[in-house]
Amino acid sequence: MDQIIIHVDMDAFFAAVEIRDNPSLRGKPLIIGSLPHERGVVATASYEARKYGIHSAMNIKDACRLCPNGVYMHPNMEKYRAVSASLHGIWNTYATAAETIALDEAYLDVTEQAVNLAGARRIAGEIRRRTRDELGLTCSVGVAYSKTAAKTASEEKKPDGYFEIPDAKTFVDLIIDRDVRVLYTVGEKTAQKLNAAGISTVRDIQEKQDQVRRLFGKQGQWITQLAFGIDDRRVTPYRPEDAKTIGREVTFQEDISDFNLLKDILFLLALSVENRAGRVGLFGQGVSLKITYADMKAISRSRRVEYCVSAVEIYEEAVRLLGQVARRPVRLIGVGIYDLYGEENRQLRIEDYMDDVRERREAERGRLLAGLGEKYRLDFAGHLREIFRAETLHKTVEYMRRHPPQGAGDGSRRSPGRDEEPGTFS
C-alpha cells in the first residue's frame, strides 16, 4: 500500500457524551439540537432515535412528529469541544499527519507507524480501546488505502465497529451496486442531477462516465475516478488560514421585521466574528451578509474591503449591505469575513501606525456596546465573553427580540444567557 489511512468517526458524538454523563438517558431516543417548540434542526441523535427515522440536519418539527416521546436537548458545545480536544489528543499520537474534519472525526496518516495492514489494524484497535477506556465513548474506525475508502470503511460497521479496505478493487467490489451517494463528494443536488440522467448507482457512473463528465465537467472527472477507486489525496493537517470564511449567524424563533433590531444583532454577530478571527490571527478582505426571509428565500450580499477584522468595521460594512436588501420579515441573519489571510501577509495601513486611530476604534466599539447595553438593559460589558458561545448568543438575541427597548426603567442590567428572572434572562 502506497499509503495507509485511518478514518475515525465517533458514534452519535453529542448524544453519546450526554448519555455518558447522564446514564439515565441510556436506551432512550435522545435528540440533540433545537427543542420541539423552537425553530431549528437536529444536530445529532442517539441510535435509539435513529430507529424512528431521525437524522442530523432534519427539521426539529419533523423529528418531533416522528418521535414525540423523545428526549430533546440543546447541545452543550463547550463540553463537546473539550471532549473533542481529548479525542484528537489520543488519535494524533498514532499519526504522522492528522486532518481534523470535525469535532468527532479525523483522517490519520499511519503509513510510517503501521508499515502494513496488520500494523494499521493494531493501531485501530488501540484507538478504539483508548477512546473507550479513557473517555467512556465509542468510535468506528476504517483502515484503507485512500481517504475515500477509509471513510467508507468507518461507516460499514457502525456503531463501535472496525472495517478495512486494502485496495481499489476491494473498494469497487464493495460499492459497485450502491447508490451514488456512497461517494462522499456526491451530495443531494449532485445525486438528483445524476438520477435525472438515469445514473443511480456507482456501476452506472462507470458505464456512463463520459456523460458524467459532460454533466459536471471537472467535478465529473473526479466523480468517475472515485467510482473506480482512484483517490491519491494525502492527509493534510488543517490550518486556520485554509478556511474560506469566518462567520456567525442566528435563526430567530419568530420572524423579525424591525431592521433597527437587525442592526443591533449584527453588532453582536460582528463581535463574535472578531473574536473568532482574532483567536487564529486572520484578517478578511471582504464582508458578507446572509439573510433568509420568512418565505425561506435566502440571499447574500458582500463587499470587498482593504482588510477587515475589527467588530466595528465588520458591523459598519454589514449595516451598509443590510441597507441594500428588501425590508421583509427575516428568519435568519448572518455576517462573515472572507478571503482570509494571516498577519504575516498583511500590508499595514497608515492608520495602523497611529495611536489615535486605534484609540478611536476602541472608543467606538465601547460606545456601541454601551449603547446596546443601555438600550436593552443588558450588561454586555461585564459578560461579553459569554456572547461568544453560540447558545448564549442565541438566548441573548431572543431576549432582545422579545423585549424591545423601552424607557429607562429601574436601571438594572441583566446578564446574557441567564434564566429570565429579575436581573437575568434566557
Contacts of 299 (CB under 8 A, 6+ apart): 290, 291, 292, 293, 325
Instruction: Specify which residues 32 forms β-bridges with.
Output: 44, 73
CA 34/CA 15 separation, integer angstroms = 13
CA distance 2 to 12: 32
Q: Is 115 left (phi over 0), alpha (psi -120 to 50) or beta?
A: left
Helix axes 311-322, 355-376, angle to 10 degrees: 60
Which residues face 71 on adjacent strands?
Answer: 30
Q: Which of 18, 48, 99, 105 is catalytic?
A: 105
**105 is known as an active-site residue:** yes
| Measured distance CA(81)–CA(194) in Å, rounded | 37
Q: Which three cell numbers stand for residue 264?
A: 443591533
Burial 152-162, CB ≥16 within 10 A → b, else e: bbbeeebeebb
End-to-end CA distance of the chain: 55
Could you give the CA distance from residue 322 to residue 23 in angstroms, rounded to a whole number? 47
Measure the CA–CA gap between 370 and 378, rounded to whole angstroms. 9
Q: Judge whether 287 and 257 are in contact, CB under 8 Å.
A: no
Nearest to 322 by CA among 294, 295, 299: 299
* Positions marked catalytic: 105
